[in-house]
Structure 1
Amino acid sequence: MWIYLLRRRPASSPAQQQPTLFPAIATKSPLYQKQLQTARIAAHSLSHTLLLGETGSGKEVLARAIHDASPRKNGPFVAVNIASLPKDLIASELFGYADGAFTGAKKGGQPGKFEAASHGTLFLDEIGEMTLELQVLLLRVLEERKITRLGSHTEKELDVRIIAATNRFLEDDVQNGLFRADLYYRLNVLQIRIPPLRERKEDIASLAEQFLHQLHEQYEGGPTQLRETAMTALHRHSWPGNVRELRNVLERAFLHAFPDPQISVQHLPPDWTWLGQNEADAQADHSPLLRTLERETIQQAIREAPSISAAAKKLGIARSTLYRKMSELAIGPCSESHV
């Protein structure tokens, strides 16, 4: 059985040996590397930055990386997910409130996230979910660089760098009157688009290594390797949930494989693994490597299962489909214990 060993390669060129500005982000994707050039500019500037990317693509990870590489790295990094806050609480969360500002207000008042992020970075995730009324208040804060708590008339000077993020098409929202154009231009000084995982599959192996290492440390054991059949399955998946989905899939596979040292394709979700492809796809795929991997995976499942039915269940396919695959791939006759 071919094994895909997940391990770090030593740097082989002077460029690779140089320390990266964003140690939390390692990518081989030319698409992402191009965007990181703008992120480097953002890290050393005072301008607001807008991150665009699908859900689960790692927007907060990049925002933290920009903060950690900036002159503000010793200041706080405060993250707020606008979509997770009740609309009637967003203003008090962001701007804070004075004593007696509303019924139930904390005695003495409460500073908001802007004040908490003073001399640091405020990360506003899902900025596209902010109401038009709150957009007006946010725009005023950004333009005047002053904050006024709800229920107060006292202005406070503000020294905060804003990184906003969204999975929406804000330009369309501007055209449709759902997002203020003046706020969009204020936030969109530097724009960075994080490619979805399906557009940078060359990063899957290194991300898998990172996640498995974290899980291995967390559980003090477990698999640290992926068989090549499992890696092939990861590459064939479309990843609608992006990096977050990859993390969840690997954690599931890690727990199913524990305490084995390797993750096999059988440990991955059976509803999307590459062995579950439809018959038309199977007939169209004549890759010798994939046929070899398929043969090895089926042989392994048969060896480890007490019966053909159990092997088919482990592979996530019907027993009749398994028999057809065995015939197509010239897998020899089974012993009586596997009938």
Structure 2
Amino acid sequence: MTIIGSMNLAAVDLNLLVAFEALIEERHVTRAASRIGLAQPSMSSALRRLRELFDDELFLRTATGMHPTEKALALARPIGAALEHIRGALAPRQGFDPATSKRRFVIAVTDYGDLVVVPALVKRLRREAPGIDLAVRPITDARDAVARLERGELDALVGGHLPDSATGMRRRLIEERFVCIRDAAHAAGSAALSLSDYAALPHALFSAVGGDGLPSAIDSALDAAGLKRRVAITLPHVVAVPFAVAGTDLVATMAERVARRFAAGAGVAVSPLPCKVPAFDIDLLHARRALSDPALRWFTDAIAAAAAP
């Protein structure tokens, strides 16, 4: 039984849950109070009552703001979902017509999302919703991007290895796998690389955060076989990797959809990775308000459709 499900709901003031939602998203008493139209003393009183209700401190004061306890984080998702369902039930039933809508959406994406998902999404918007504007921002700090989503500054995030969000909703878009790329002329007529040949070749590596990006799942697989690779070139943008590999003896490991997008134009050949490395997910994180906002719900569904094979 959940924390909320085990409580006597008749004894719970709905306004306290609204205050909790504002606190979990703002992490600041004064800002949370302003957000829902309360005076700061009233929000402090609401926090005191919430602590009594859930028998937990919920939020601890730190130098960087209010830090939620484990119980507060556990409560965030069910309380947020419950409030959105209530809002949806009470809101006027307004139709949404993508063909005539003038909405603007702001999303943040990783390089993968930019290359694989966004082009198909743009085509869908131009075809079905030409009046909708889309602003795409880069994800340079995943935790900061999640915080911006929770504050309502972003409508959605698209990428791999996105942190969990206490208030957002996650949907898996793509299960992706790694492949190798080599110069097409070097690879012509040759069999797929053996593990020893793969380790012996000089590698080109994409690392958005700088450094050599090691160790990775690739290096762990090589280490298990008693092998080690040399990273000869490290590049800050994934789009540069196939063009750096072309015309050289380099090998690179890339997400399959990205590799195949550039293979012909860059002059590289795609082949299977010669070691077992787990697949990884490309996810969509979006604001919970999509449950009660028909336009945002349509938009997040459009992202999912754009990511479909």
TM-score, with structure 1 as normaliser: 0.24
Higher fraction of strand: 2
Q: Which has the higher contact order (CA 8 A, sep 6+)?
A: 2
Q: Which is greater in Rg?
A: 1
TM-score, with structure 2 as normaliser: 0.26
Higher fraction of helix: 1
